[in-house]
Structure 1
Amino acid sequence: MDKRTEISSLLNRVLRGRGNALFLTPPGYQEGKSLLLSSPVYVKAVRGLKDIREIERRRTENPENFGALLLDYEFGFRLEEKISRLSFTDSDITGVYYEYQPEKSEVIDPATITLYPKKRKQYRVFNQVLSDSPDSYGEKVERLKEYIARGDTYQINLTTEAYFTLDGDLTAFIIDLLKKQSAQYITIINTGAHLTISVSPELFFRVRGDKILTAPMKGTIKRGKNLQEDEIRKEQLGNSAKDRAENLMIVDLLRNDLGKICEFGSVNADRLFEIETYETVHQMVSYISGKLRAGTGLSDIITALFPCGSITGAPKFRSMEIINELERRKRGLYTGSIFFFTPEETTANVAIRTAELFADSDTPKRYRGVLPLGSGVVWDSTPDGEYAEILKKGEFLTRRHNDFRLFETCYFDGEKIPLLDLHLNRLKGSAKFHLFLFDEAAIKEALRENFTPGQELIMKLLLGKWGELEVQTRPYEKIYRHLRVLLSDNGVNSESQEFYFKTTLRDFYDEEFSCALHAGYDEVLFLNEHGRITEGSWTNFFYELGGQLYTPEVSEGLLDGVLRQKLLAEGTLRERNISPEDLAQCARVFMGNSVRGLMPVAEVRSGKNRLFYNKN
């Protein structure tokens, strides 16, 4: 396996001291930097704009220093006189700034980090409780719809909070979050009082020189079960008039905000309605830029833009009044922003997917956590639908991450891998779907390093989320016999994405194959929920009927095998679905893959010894 630094070592350094922070942009993203910051030389509590101006002054005087600013959502009330007294007093702290000297600021190359520790540590999340019941949240949704009907607002981001308890290794918990939630603007910062973990995909703004860029997110759709369905879902979102209208509403709000600080005529919606993909949803994103007026500083930008319109609603300040009335609590950092300052630029995220963990003073390795969750309420929203959305968003806390890698099993003939291009193309598609980094040059090099010229090998290539590579090899041994195949009693669901991709989550396949071997068979054959044949545990299924070779359609719930792809492309194979009862009509039956080719089947039987096919 390629040698990388375990991310747990970086996380442990964050945990060692107050103000230590990790700003992380995973490999694969073109923009952004990753830095490990420690031992801040200056810490400033933020209560109002005068404190932001003081931070601005320090950054002007010490441009070589790095900085981090955590700014609560409630700071936005300081920026509009008519709502400035809604939720706190003048003494309330609404943010904190940390400043770091260059010698305490370490640039991190994410390509040198692995998310897969040699020894996996344990944790558990339990006692998850929402601050709102279905009824109380539903009442707020209905009240919001009344405001929308009156024209007070067009949409509102309504939030609640999930409280939970974490026992065990904190770094293991964070690593699982990073695997489950892809994001470009990740921050892990130790404030001393608590640990903030922000796995945010949304850019609030970025300033480089006199250019400012903002990228609001609004509009989502659920992912598809495979690559084909996923592309259809993306197209549906991109063409959705409703989602485009909601996105454009926020674009107009932010264009107006940028117009307050940018040169006349310089504000442009550069890219509208682009689709970005995350683990469970596709998200609609638009990009707006402008040229800052001469003399525009951090305090001017925050006054004009904060908080981001995508997490309030439109119009912004009236929406904030309504949010304050209904939520009746402080949001804190959630839907505020985390700012990251380098000598070259300022980057601020929208602090969503942001949890805070507090150490339990009575129990070692126990933490009390809070994770705010939100849903966007519009005119046609329903109470049940909105509550279901926040429950769905909170599932990743209690759902243990199914730690997996993608893999390909290839045949090396002593000189080359004959079907390498097909293997790489399939792996690239799987990586795209699962948001894994795919570096074809690095993969080819890793394979070449494990070639043994003149010796036939079976090569297994494993790919991790951040491009981690491992190659395993074993000698190739021919199989000369006809296979005995057992029909499994446990079917597959063609709507489950797990059956369309080659991953290390193979417990189901391995257990069924083991049972077949124990019963004296060579392979097991699965049926889907419709009672039709799909595939084997390590092979695709093929059959000959009327002189033509057939295989089931991928949509039946099976892996699009490399041998299968090759034969279809050559025109020697066609797709046609089949039930076990029809096997008796087949001239021949095969199980096959790219390593073994087509292997003749001697018989297919059920667990109750019913014979469905016999070559004789």
Structure 2
Amino acid sequence: METLPQRLIDVPAAPVNCRHRLTEHTRWQWHLTDGGNPAGDLETFLAAHDLSLHDLTRPTTTHHHTRRTCGAALYVSAAAGAHLAHAPTGAPTPIPALPDIVAIVYHHTDTPTPPTNPTTRRPWTLGDWTPSWTPTTHAHAIDTVRTAISHGTVYQTNLVGHASAPYTGDPLPALTRLGALPGARYGGTLTGPGWALGCASPETLIEITGTRLTTRPIKGTRPATPTGRHDLLTSTKERAEHIMIVDLERNDLARVARTGTVTVDDLYAIRRWCNLWQAESTISATLADGLGLADLLRAICPGGSVTGAPKHAALHQIATLEPVGRGASMGALGWITPGHLDLGLTIRTAAADTHRLHLWAGGGITWHSDPTAEVAEAAAKAAPLRATLTTA
């Protein structure tokens, strides 16, 4: 297929009452090769379309339902996040058509574009998955991280593997189904020329309501069984790894918060995503005066739960060890409107180019990590996505 069909807009975190009344007005995109100041250019673009985010603490004076502009979808790749953090951006993306930053401004409409007639689509088939690394090479990378930890270079590094599969037919119905998976707080899709992505993420990278910032890092996974829940609650290794990321996220929020306002509201709560238990914490703060969107993205991207600690050292190691770029995964995707911003972390995310589906999964590596168990955990995270994408 040379182009991907476009369908009804289903942006993660878009207002529920507006979600099927949106029409694209304009978009802006940026690739790593474009250089320049992408965070500043993004702010300028949005301000030109009734979305002034130079000061996130400034209250909006126009009611949402009386504005022509509803809001904007925002996608930021993991590589773009690393670029904003002045860190290595890693291996090349397997989906060159997918920009590293996309902002799409939407207006309201009473006549949304109807979906493609199912009878006009080619039958959906998905071929065999080809991984970017074998279990052996994945385990070797884990051992390399453990060696670096023993030398004091890092305390934790998140390693992510990639797999792709050929397909025929329209991939968008399959990508859309990801958003219906249990626990997909940021379920939805985003599309562009030659690419489409589907998200089933449960993790909040950053949410702003009024002047309050919130992030909800997830770290720690077990099967969704009574034994799995007990193991996750009592695991010294998982709790230590989780608290390390909580401390990292507290530090990131402190860079954009009023002094002394960062709090941990909920520590190590057990939530369910599909057939897995995961440990989640909630950290919040009050926005610093005069903080703009560009400042926010530079401070929090890429997310600490998918990089490691210290973040810069972990990003250097990721760039060395991962053979394929993170593409659509481990970045940010969500919705922006004056007075509210809600970006999910693009874990549990798949993407299509014109010929193949791409999927990523991984986990945090600490000194106590067992390579065999870590490889199995990454496979367990990918399994519900693979099953959903395969379904006709």
TM-score normalised by L of structure 2: 0.80
CA distance in 2 between counterparts of 1:262 and 1:85 reads 27
Which residue does 1:376 correspond to in 2?
Answer: 364
1:271-282 superposed matches below 5 A? 271-282=266-277
Counterpart contact for 1:35–1:105, Cα < 8 Å: no
**Post-superposition offset of 1:271:** 1.1
Work out whether residues 354 and 372 of structure 1, in 8 Å CA contact, stay in contact via their aligned partners in 2: yes
Residue 216 (structure 1) shift: 0.3
- In the alignment, is residue 257 of structure 1 matched against residue 258 of structure 2? no
Query: How many angstroms does 1:201 deviate by?
Result: 0.8
What aligned pairs does 1:452-471 form with structure 2 within 5 A after superposition? none
- Quote the offset at 1:24 in angstroms: 4.5
Per-residue Cα deviation, 1:272-314 (whole angstroms, up to 9, x for no partner): 1111112211111111111111110111111111101000011
Instruction: State the alpha-carbon separation in 1 of the partners of residues 363 and 275 from structure 2.
Output: 15
Gaps of 5+ in 1: 1-13, 107-116, 225-229, 361-367, 404-616
Q: In the TM superposition, what are the counterparts of 1:501-520 in structure 2 within 5 Å?
A: none
Query: The residue matched to 2:10 in structure 1 has which SS?
Result: strand
Alpha-carbon spacing, 1:276–1:52, altered in 2? closer, same or farther (3 Å) = same
**1:278, 1:314 → 2: CA distance?**
25
Deviation at 1:180, TM superposition (A): 4.2
Give 3-state SS (helix, strand or coil) of 1:317's partner.
Answer: helix
Shift of 1:181: 4.7
Instruction: Say whether the 8 Å CA contact 1:48–1:75 is kept in structure 2.
Output: no
2:111 and 2:270 map into 1 onto residues whose CA distance is 34
Alpha carbons of 1:15 and 1:341: their partners in 2 closer, same or farther (altered >3 Å)?
farther
The structure whose Rg is larger is 1
Q: Which residue of 2 aligns with 1:357?
A: 352
Cross-structure match for 2:43: 56
Q: Deviations over 1:100-147 (max 9, x none)?
A: 2234897xxxxxxxxxx9xxx963322211111122212211111101
Spell out the pairing of 1:32-43 with structure 2 (5 A cutoff): 35-36=19-20, 37-43=22-28
Quick one: distance in 2 between partners of 1:33 and 1:318?
43
| 1:190 partnered with 2:191 | yes
How far is the alpha carbon of 1:402 from its aligned partner?
Answer: 11
Q: In 2, Cα distance between the equivalents of 1:80 and 1:279?
A: 32
Q: Note if contact 1:39-1:104 (Cα within 8 Å) is conserved in structure 2.
A: no
Instruction: Check if 1:217 corresponds to 2:204.
Output: no
Residue identity opposite 1:211 in structure 2: R
* Separation (CA, whole Å) in 2 of partners of 1:143 and 1:33: 49
Aligned residue for 2:247, secondary structure, equals helix
| CA deviation map 1:390-442 (0-9, x unaligned) | 33333335546999xxxxxxxxxxxxxxxxxxxxxxxxxxxxxxxxxxxxxxx
Of residues 98, 102, 106 in structure 1, which corresponds to 2:108? 102
CA contact 2:179–2:186 (8 Å) conserved in 1: no
1:125 aligns with 2:112: no
Match of 1:591 in 2: none
Structural mapping, 1:143-292, within 5 Å = 143-168=144-169, 170=171, 172-174=173-175, 176-224=177-225, 230=226, 233-292=228-287
Pick closer, same or farther for the CA change 1:276–1:85 going to 2, 3 Å.
Answer: closer
Q: TM-score, structure 1 length as denominator?
A: 0.53
Contact 1:334–1:372 (Cα < 8 Å) also in 2 = yes
Give the Cα separation in 2 of the matches to 1:192 and 1:325: 30
What is the CA distance between 1:52 and its match in structure 2? 2.1
Q: Give how far 1:347 is off.
A: 0.8
Instruction: Determine if contact 1:162/1:394 at 8 Å carries over to the other structure.
Output: no
Report matched runs for 1:520-535 at 5 Å: none
Query: Equivalents in 1 of 2:236, 2:287: separation in Å?
Result: 32
Deviations 1:54-90 (A, max 9, x none): 3323434503431112211112332344x358768xx
Return the letter of the residue paired with 2:23.
Answer: S
1:369 aligned counterpart, secondary structure = strand
Q: Output aligned runs, 1:317-396, within 5 Å.
A: 317-360=312-355, 368-396=356-384
Deviates more, 1:343-352 or 1:199-208: 343-352
- Distance (whole Å) between structure 1 residues aligned to residue 111 and residue 78 of structure 2: 27
Residue 137 of structure 1: aligned partner: 138
Please tell me the residue identity of whatever aligns with 1:334: S
Highest RCO, 1 vs 2 (Cα 8 Å, sep ≥ 6): 2
Report the residue type matching 1:43 in the other structure: W
Separation (CA, whole Å) in 2 of partners of 1:176 and 1:202: 18
2:186 maps to a residue whose letter is Y
Q: Deviations over 1:209-243 (max 9, x none)?
A: 2211110001122112xxxxx3x643542343332
What is the rounded CA distance, in whole Å, between the counterparts of 1:42 and 1:105 in structure 2? Answer: 20
Q: Considering only aligned residues, what root-mean-square deviation do their CA atoms show, in Å?
A: 3.1
Tell me what 2:64 maps to.
none
Of the structure 1 ranges 157-166 and 263-272, higher mean CA displacement relative to structure 2 is found in 157-166
Q: Distance in 2 between matches of 1:253 and 1:220?
A: 19
Contact 2:223 2:229 in 1 (8 A): no
Counterpart of 2:103, as a letter, is: Y
Of 300, 307, 310, which residue of structure 1 is paired with 2:302?
307
SS of structure 2 residue aligned to 1:301: helix
Q: Is the 8 A contact 2:187 2:200 kept in 1?
A: yes
**In the alignment, what sits opposite 2:74?**
69
What is the percent sequence identity of the aligned residues? 27
The aligned amino acid for 1:371 is L
The corresponding residue for 1:293 is 288
Contact 2:24 2:104 in 1 (8 A): no
2:10 alignment partner AA: L
Cα distance, 1:39 vs. partner? 2.7
Distance 1:385 1:268, change over 3 A: same
Displacement after TM superposition at 1:384 (Å): 2.4
